[in-house]
A and B are shown apart, each in its own frame.
Chain A
């Protein structure tokens, strides 16, 4: 009953009167009292506690509407135009330059280059390359062996040499 009466009263009051009332309430000690109460009862911390946030994130991720929203956003030409504009802006160039000039990146590169995994991979690649080259030289030289021998034997009208088994 009381709520209905308040609503009726609110509808009947002019908007300007409501604005003045709200402004007075916020300018007064009420705002400070609400803020103190929120801090005393740790309302914000309780709301954003890990469990609540996890539940909220899980609910968002499991919601099919989230997926549909993401699909719509990705498929929209507006997003594509936005991404293209960002990529073409000077901001990306400046950021790239800063990252490339940063000592942190140099440290990362030095760390990667000196890592045993990278060294092992490079060594293995070099060994494989060398083995392939040697194998190729062997194969070619053995082919020349046979060609030279067949040619000379044909000149001398000698029968072919018995092949290895």
Chain B
């Protein structure tokens, strides 16, 4: 037996358990982000190298190597922190339908994003072992999430629930 149209109302979605993002989706998103960030770094480096070659004979010594490493870290770090803070997701996360949220459910702030960046670096250094907790944690958190108090969620467009009043 089905309820008639007069007996049915459309209500707001009920509070639901969030859909935490798993390790494979997060890995693909991270790979895309790393690729984009390195395209930015390499483009900047190529421009600087072109300018240097036009100015004169530039030798790539220890100082230049250190400066290049610092520039790489700044660009890549800024990429992640900027997108986490302003949009709650990086381009790679957007493509994979993910978003990172703080304890209040909103975008992580600047400090929390910076802390998350440090956690991300620490998770990557031991051959990505910092991501393994995602496989066993009930909220699928990685090392950077534990450190920053964040979680990564799937974006799910939830349709309004049909509730019968009879």
Contacts and interface: CB of A to CB of B under 8 A. Distances in A.
Contacts, number: 54
A134 B25 CA distance: 12
Contacts of A145: 21-25
A165 B16 contact: yes
Contacts of A153: 135-136
Nearest to A140: B24
A141 B19 contact: no
Interface string A24-50: 000000000000000000000000000
Given A137-B28, A141-B28, A153-B135, A164 B17 contact: yes
Interface secondary structure of A, over-half rule: helix
Interface of B: 16-25, 28, 95-97, 134-136, 138, 140, 154, 156
28 contacts: A134-B95, A137-B28, A138-B25, A138-B96, A141-B24, A141-B28, A141-B96, A142-B22, A142-B25, A144-B22, A144-B25, A145-B21, A145-B22, A145-B23, A145-B25, A148-B22, A149-B22, A149-B23, A149-B135, A152-B135, A152-B136, A156-B136, A158-B136, A161-B140, A162-B17, A163-B17, A164-B17, A164-B19
